[in-house]
Amino acid sequence: MNKLQLIISMIVLAVLLTACNVTVQNPQQQQPNTISVSGTAQLKAAPDESTVMLNVETNGTTPREAQDKNSAAMSAAIAALRRAGVAEDQIQTTNYQLIPNTYWDYKNQQQITSGYKTMHTLQLKTKDLSRVGDLIQTAVDAGATGVESVSFSLSKANERDVKDSALRSATQDARQKAAALADGLDVRLGKVSSVSINEYNIMPYYRADAGMMASKAEAAPAPPIAPQDVDVSANVQVVFEIA
């Protein structure tokens, strides 16, 4: 290689070295240490709403007979409830069935139809909890043949207040647990890194038993229906940084 070629090679190498930038990246910052805790709350709340499931069951030799009997009994029950002060929007049908009454004839090895059954279920809602028993008796006296269930729950407005209270209690429980952990570890709690609601439940008090059947006997007292508290629970997950 002559002198001119050597000079040209050195110039090209210098240009290439100048075009290359060497970058040194800082190592990624270490993630902060954290304490993760679960906070729970179990509360009881007084209900302000009741739902009663009433039914009328009738039988007939023909579908029309079973249906007509049912319509007459249910119409009478609804009319009686309306006279007792129940508003139209507090009553609604939740189920209606017209089915054959059948049994298996083992002698002739065939299914026999022995009439027809109509079942009509009515939902009654009221905020006057002191009148639940009286309203049941009114419906039964007028034509209802059964009471499927009675439940006590919270109205939407009351549910919001109770939910807020349960969540506050759950987050306070989480903070207390985190503080105890930090004290045991001899560290100091920092800011909240994240929080999430794991679970929130409202369990209405629900009854469904044979003792719920009201009597049609003359001058029979209304069934004593006592409101029961509603169970409310909340569970939250909170992550605290360690300062």
3-state secondary structure 52-106: EEEEEEEEECCHHHHHHHHHHHHHHHHHHHHHCCCCHHHEEEEEEEEEEEEEEEC
Q: Which two tokens stand for residue 168?
A: 């506050």
Q: CA geometry: angle at 91 spanning 80 and 203, to 5°?
A: 125
- Res. 51: pLDDT tops 50: yes
pLDDT computed for residue 201 by the predictor: 87
What the chain holds in terms of domains, given with CATH numbers, is 32-48+154-243 (3.30.110.170), 49-153 (3.30.70.2970)
- Res. 239: pLDDT tops 60: yes
Mean pLDDT to the nearest integer, 168-173: 96
The string of pLDDT tens digits covering residues 58-88 is: 999 999 999 999 999 999 999 999 999 999 9
pLDDT computed for residue 20 by the predictor: 33
3-class SS at 39? strand
Instruction: Confirm if 237 and 35 have CB atoms less than 8 A apart.
Output: no
Mean pLDDT to the nearest integer, 184-198: 92
Task: pLDDT band for 185, please (50, 70, 90 cuts).
Answer: very high
Range scoring the smallest mean pLDDT among 86-95, 194-203, 208-217, 232-241: 208-217
Return d(Cα 220, Cα 239) in angstroms, integer.
Answer: 60
Q: Which two tokens stand for residue 226?
A: 């006592």
235 versus 212: which is more confidently predicted? 235
pLDDT computed for residue 214 by the predictor: 52
CA atoms within 13 A on the CB side of 155: 9
- Res. 1: pLDDT tops 80: no
